[in-house]
Amino acid sequence: MKNTLKYTVVFLVVIFLLACGSTSLLKTFKNKHENKQYESIAKTEIKCNKSDKGCNQLHLIKGDACYRLGKENNKPLERFDCAIEHLDTGISLTKQWKSGQLDLNQDQVYENLSESLRLRQNMSKGAEADKFTRRLIQTSAAFLKLSPDNLAAIYFNNSANFTALRGRILTSPDDPRVCQAVDHILSRLLTASTRAANSRYASQYSVLIGDVKGIKAVLVNCP
């Protein structure tokens, strides 16, 4: 009985220390992020239980720091792998995105994760590239469900689906289902194109629409 009580006390002390550690690290992370000390955040190992208060924010902040470093071409492959891991974990742990003065900007987190997946996909070949394409389709679909009118969500989802369709386009250019899939992607992009023209996604939409139109033009029996 005494041993059981002893181990229970030790366990509770460890849990308490972990929770306190998460709170302390979160304060440090927020301060470093505010001062753009992204390298320091990226190098810091996160040790917290999923249920710990602030554990989700630790992952989101580290993921954001890695994303920013990757966009600066600072070890991009390593940084985007880090961004993908921690942004994805942060999303899965976050149950409340807004509370009082706290606003974790759910759309921006999904956008940064989607961009990390897209860029990581571009750095890959073969099966690895296919893996990132599938993950981007899943992430952007969830993003689109949360924010159906978000230009970034629309772009990433259609871009990923178009990439996934390329194999069928090459092997079955006369398949009417391929034509239908291309038409569906083009329709969704064109519907959003007017809003996109006046946004920071103007160039991406223009290029993607041009690519989809170019493919449609060479498909067999695809008016």
Return d(Cα 107, Cα 140) in angstroms, integer: 11
Average pLDDT, the chain: 91
Q: Encoding tokens for residue 24?
A: 């302390």
What average pLDDT does range 36-56 have in this prediction?
A: 94
| pLDDT tops 70 at residue 106 | yes
Cβ distance 137 to 153 under 8 Å?
no
Give the mean pLDDT of 2-8: 43
d(CA 181, CA 165): 8
pTM of the model: 0.88
* Spatial contact of 120 and 139, defined as CB atoms under 8 Å apart: no
Residue 19 — pLDDT band, cuts 50, 70, 90?
Answer: very low
**pLDDT given for residue 188 in this prediction:** 98
Average pLDDT over residues 14-31: 69
Predicted confidence at residue 21, as pLDDT, reads 52
In the predicted model, is pLDDT for residue 26 greater than 50?
yes
- What would you report as the CA-atom Rg of the chain, rounded to the nearest whole angstrom? 22
